[in-house]
A and B are shown apart, each in its own frame.
Chain A
Amino acid sequence: MFTDFLNILADWSQFDSWIVVCAALAAGACAIPGCFLVLRRQSLMGDALSHTVLPGIAGAFLLSHGLMTSGWMTPETYESTWHLGLFAGAISIGILTALLTQFIQNLGGVESSAALGIVFTTLFAIGLVMIRMAADQVDLDPDCVLYGAIESSILDTVGTTDIPRAAVVNGAVLVLNLLLVVVFYKELRISAFDPELATTLGINAQVMHYGLMAATAVTLVAAFESVGSILVIAMLIVPAATAFLLTHRLHVMIGLSLVVGAVSALLGHVLAMTLPTIVTKSWGGPSIQGTSTAGMIAAASGACFFLAVLLSPRQGVLSLLIARQRLRLRIVAEDVLGLLIRLEESEDSAVAQTASQICERLGTGRLKTRLAIIGLTRQQRLASSSDGVSLTERGRSSANRLVRSHRLWESYMAKHFVVPDDHLHETASRVEHFLDPDLREELAEELDAPETDPHGRAIPPESESK
Chain B
Amino acid sequence: MWTYNTQVVMAGTLLLGISAGVVGVFMLLRKRALVGDVVSHAALPGIAAAFLLFETIRPGTGKALPVLLTGAVVTGFLGVLCTIGIRRYTRIKEDAALAIVLSVFFGVGIALLTVVQSLPTGNAAGLHDFIYGKTASMVVDDVKVISIASVVVLIACGLLFKELAMICFDMEFAGAQGWPVAWLDLVLMCLVVGVTVIGLQSVGLLLVVAMLIIPAASARFWTDRLLPMTIVSAVLGGMSAALGVLASASIPRLPAGAIIVLVGSTFFALSLLFGTRRGALRRFQVLLTLRRRVGRHDLLRAFYEVLEARGCTSDDFRLAETPVSESELQTMRTWAPSRLHRLLRTCRSDGLIAQDDQGEFRLTRLGVDEARRVVRNHRLWEIYLINYADIAPSHVDRDADLIEHILDPDLIAELNQILSKQFPQMVVPPSPHTIDQPAGAV
Contact = CB atoms under 8 A, between A and B. Distances in A.
Interface of A: 38, 41-44, 46-47, 51, 104, 107-111, 113-118, 121-122, 124-126, 128-129, 132-133, 135, 142, 146-147, 228, 230-231, 233-234, 236-238, 240-241, 244-245, 272, 276, 283, 285-286, 288-289, 291-292, 294-299, 301-302, 305, 309, 315, 317
B115 A291 contact: yes
A104 B217 CA distance: 11
Contacts of A113: 31, 33-34, 95
B262 interface: yes
A40 B202 CA distance: 35
A129 B262 contact: yes
Given A132-B253, A237-B100, 18 more contacts: A38-B93, A108-B272, A113-B31, A117-B210, A121-B209, A124-B261, A125-B258, A125-B262, A128-B255, A129-B262, A132-B258, A230-B41, A233-B102, A295-B111, A296-B107, A299-B111, A302-B107, A317-B90
B111 A104 contact: no
B421 interface: no
B372 interface: no
B213 A117 contact: yes
B95 A43 contact: yes
Given A117-B34, A298-B108, A132 B268 contact: no
Contact of A289 (B89, B118, B262): B118
Contacts of B96: 38, 41, 43, 237, 240-241, 244
B265 A292 contact: no
Given A231-B103, A244-B92, A294-B110, A114 B207 contact: no
B324 interface: no
Q: Interface residues of A: mostly helix, strand, loop or mixed?
A: helix
Given A129-B258, A309-B90, A44 B104 contact: no
A121 B34 contact: no
8 contacts: A38-B93, A41-B96, A107-B272, A114-B217, A118-B217, A122-B262, A124-B258, A126-B258
Contacts of B121: 286
Contacts of B268: 118
Contacts of A122: 210, 214, 261-262, 265
B265 A125 contact: yes
Contacts of A285: 56
Nearest to B90: A309
Contacts of A231: 103, 106-107, 110
B221 A108 contact: yes
B213 A43 contact: no
Given A126-B262, A286-B119, A117 B107 contact: no
Contacts of B253: 132-133, 135
A272 B111 contact: yes
B17 interface: no
Contacts of B86: 309
Given A245-B92, A309-B89, A118 B110 contact: no
5 interchain residue pairs of minimum CB distance: A298-B107, A302-B104, A295-B111, A295-B110, A121-B210
B288 interface: no
Contacts of A241: 92, 96, 100
A237 B92 CA distance: 11
Given A132-B254, A272-B111, A301-B104, A44 B99 contact: yes
A428 B209 CA distance: 56
B225 interface: no
A146 B107 CA distance: 11
Contacts of B265: 118, 121-122, 125
A52 B268 CA distance: 18
Contacts of B91: 244-245, 315
Given A43-B95, A110-B220, A116-B34, A291 B114 contact: yes
Given A135-B253, A286-B121, A315-B90, A107 B280 contact: yes
Contacts of A107: 272, 280
Contacts of A317: 89-90
Given A107-B280, A302-B100, A121 B261 contact: yes
Given A51-B206, A104-B272, A125-B261, A238 B100 contact: yes
A118 B120 CA distance: 40
A298 B110 CA distance: 10
A2 B212 CA distance: 47
B261 A114 contact: no
- Among A41, A114, A121, A234, the most chain B Cβ lie within 10 Å of the Cβ of A121
Contact of B255 (A132, A230, A294): A132
Contacts of A276: 115
Contacts of A42: 95
Given A108-B278, A132-B254, A285-B56, A121 B214 contact: yes
